[in-house]
A and B are shown apart, each in its own frame.
Chain A
Amino acid sequence: MITRVDTDVEKDEMSGSTRGAALGLTGLVKRYEDSVAVDDVSLEIPAGEFVTLLGPSGSGKTTTLNMIAGFTQADEGQIQLDGKAIDRVPAHKRNIGVVFQHYALFPHMTVEDNVAFPLKRRRMAKAERATRIDEVLDLVRMKDFVKRYPRQLSGGQQQRVALARALVFNPRLLLMDEPLGALDKKLREWLQLEFKRIHQELGITFVYVTHDQEEALVLSDRIAVFNHGKIEQVGTATELYERPETLFVAEFVGESNCFKGRYRRDGDLGIIASEQFELRGPAAHGGDDPNAVLVVRPERVNIRRDGISPSNGANILQGTVKQVIYLGSARKTEVVLSDGRELVVRESASVGTGPAAGQPVEVFWAPDDSVLLTGGASVGPDLDQLANEVK
């Protein structure tokens, strides 16, 4: 099966040894009447990479995808596919596969006819077409449904047919716009693994749009976090999670505890201070900053008890347990600190029993387990917008 695809790709005059195409976005700008949807977006995606554009709705990720697909014309900037500018190439000549949130299968055609559509547009001979359709439906495991109409299929099945249709003509770049947005959680998780498997089998470049940070973490080689039409940070899941460069990234990707205060450098360490606290973290890049933030992930914070105690130099805070939430694999403890601020601790559920609500506790973490953000990086996300987005 895999070797079959390989030979087909080569036959389709695909250049070089790579099966995927490299994509380059340079200074893309898209303006609408009174707003800027995409504001100077640049991104280099090497051939064969799985990149996710992650961000809340209205952050410009879908507009960016539409510009790559050719559905929307950029006002400024350039899009390059394998080094060649494609800005003036109309959508139907770009040879880029696109998968939509609501599948966009042609309702008056069977599964077979839907998948045959791009091949007929390319005037592929009938026998060859049949082989190719067979292969690609096998790839998405929908071989038994060729004669069905889209409305006779479940959402997950429709999306797999849509994926087959977008892959059947051997595109070297596949764009996916919230493809799992309309599906329930179980199906979503299963299809995520399918996408990963197919990406690995085909080796083509995937650009995936989602507002679901968990999905982005599971799927991607790299993630570009979008906010207000700009890319806040590009990096692997680990980089974004462990070393967020902006408060927006810290709060959008995973959960975090944030402490705002004045920053100053102290040798190898950075100090962030306010009237209520003084905390140590790794030194930040810039100089002193009155509007800095220290970010620490909930699982990096410990609750002091027998056998778990802070080492020298740890940040230690006093508080009272507000409530304990049992999550199956983990346990989340919400602590009200002495200054009224709240902090979340996440522990493995297998680590003994935690303190109960109302008990006084001491929480601590090592300075290296936190991130210090200074300069413009400390501007957080619009919380109302996030509340709408992260359901």
Chain B
Amino acid sequence: MNGLKARRPRTGAAGVLLRIFGGVMVIWLLAPILVVIPLSFTGKQSFEFPPTTWSTEWYHQLFTAPEWVEALTHSVVIALLVVVLAGVLGTACAIGLDRGVLPGKAVVRGLVLSPIIVPVVIVAVGVYLVFLPWRLAGHELGFVLAHTALAIPFVVISVSTSLAGFDRRLEQAAASLGASPWSTFLRVTLPAIGPGIFAGAVLAFITSFDEVVTALFLSTPTMKTLPVQMFQTINNVDPTIAAASTLVLAGTAAIMLLVLIFNRNVRSGS
């Protein structure tokens, strides 16, 4: 009875206050992000808000101006490579930490997860100093390696959670039914931890795609990612940056929506 009552929407003064508070919080969190959308359709080369004239000029700019097209391409290619690399390594690492019998597992886990805790700027300086003599600074591979290190923790955490809920006896069952260890991994373990790997891969993509600190260190005038390009254009009054932001926003929202739909399907099993 009480449980049912508690679930009913609140009415009265408390309920009204709660709604107002909730609404304010949503506006406070979203408004600065959403400002870029109208701004990207402005008709003038200015950051005047709200815009007084309208055009799609800046989107045209984004998809035709060489520096923007290149930056966007670099970002997408790097992020996709990071997804593959961090996905495979992170999954392998999570499995190793779950099943391995190696001593000092806690230390290994700590080291693998450290990029989340260590300030990114320190990582960036370190990476830069190491990559410079190796000629990896300003090279696509350098970006991929640096971003992979930053993205692996998200994959490890996500896959570890999946593994924790995985019944190891399913693997014993598969073995007793004649499946080799590799076949068992492909047909039983992988499908079970698939949602975890997928979630980790999405996080890895986003981590790489909007990473700016190490990218700034590693970039050169000809080799930069979208966030670096945006960061460097902010001093010029160029609304293309708003168009780029809107694109990233839409892309991220689309990915998150995809994850939601995917998770719902996994849960309902259809």
A interface residues (Cβ-Cβ under 8 A, vs B): 69-71, 90-98, 100, 102, 104-108, 117-118, 121-122, 149, 151, 162, 165-166, 169
Contacts and interface: CB of A to CB of B under 8 A. Distances in A.
Contact of B174 (A93, A117, A169): A117
Given A92-B175, A92-B177, A92-B179, 17 more contacts: A71-B172, A71-B175, A91-B172, A92-B176, A98-B172, A98-B176, A100-B173, A104-B173, A105-B173, A106-B188, A106-B191, A117-B174, A118-B178, A121-B177, A121-B178, A122-B178, A166-B176
Contacts of A108: 191-192
A71 B173 CA distance: 10
Nearest to A113: B187
Contacts of B187: 106, 117
B170 A92 contact: no
Contacts of B184: 92
Contacts of B174: 92, 106, 117
A102 B166 CA distance: 13
A92 B178 contact: yes
Interface centre among A104, A149, A165 (most CB of B within 10 A): A104
B176 A117 contact: no
B178 A95 contact: yes
Contacts of A95: 178
B48 interface: no
B169 interface: yes
A371 B77 CA distance: 82
Contacts of B161: none
Interface string B179-213: 11101100110011000000000000000000000
B175 A117 contact: no
B176 A69 contact: yes
Contact of A169 (B167, B177, B191, B269): B177
A122 B180 CA distance: 11
Nearest to B194: A108
A117 B169 CA distance: 16
Given A106-B188, A107-B192, A121-B183, A69 B172 contact: yes
A71 B180 CA distance: 13
Nearest to B169: A104
15 contacts: A69-B172, A91-B175, A91-B176, A92-B174, A98-B173, A102-B167, A104-B167, A104-B169, A105-B173, A106-B173, A108-B192, A117-B174, A121-B183, A149-B269, A162-B173
A-B pairs, 5 with minimum CB distance:
A118-B177, A104-B173, A98-B176, A121-B178, A91-B175
Contacts of A162: 173
Contacts of B191: 106, 108
B175 A70 contact: yes
Interface string B122-147: 00000000000000000000000000
Nearest to B183: A121
A177 B173 CA distance: 12
Q: Interface on chain B toward A: helix, strand, loop, or mixed SS?
A: helix
B179 A117 contact: yes
A166 B170 CA distance: 13
Interface centre among A96, A105, A108, A162 (most CB of B within 10 A): A108
B180 to A, nearest CB: 5
A163 to B, nearest CB: 12
B170 A106 contact: yes
Given A118-B177, A169-B178, A104 B183 contact: no
A100 B175 CA distance: 13
Interface centre among B176, B183, B184 (most CB of A within 10 A): B176
Contacts of B176: 69-71, 91-92, 94, 96-98, 166
A308 B179 CA distance: 64
A51 B174 CA distance: 24
A118 B174 CA distance: 8
Interface centre among B175, B178, B188 (most CB of A within 10 A): B178
A155 B38 CA distance: 57
A247 B176 CA distance: 37
A273 B84 CA distance: 79
Nearest to A94: B176
Contacts of B181: 92
Contact of A102 (B169, B175, B178, B183): B169
B237 to A, nearest CB: 54
Contacts of B175: 70-71, 90-92
Nearest to A171: B176
A165 B177 contact: yes
A103 to B, nearest CB: 9
Given A98-B172, A107-B192, A92 B180 contact: yes
A360 B187 CA distance: 70
A71 B167 CA distance: 15
B169 to A, nearest CB: 5
Contacts of A70: 175-176
A208 B118 CA distance: 54
Nearest to B170: A104
Contacts of B188: 106
A61 B247 CA distance: 62
A172 to B, nearest CB: 14
B178 to A, nearest CB: 4
Given A91-B172, A107-B192, A117 B177 contact: yes
Contacts of B269: 149, 151
A119 to B, nearest CB: 9
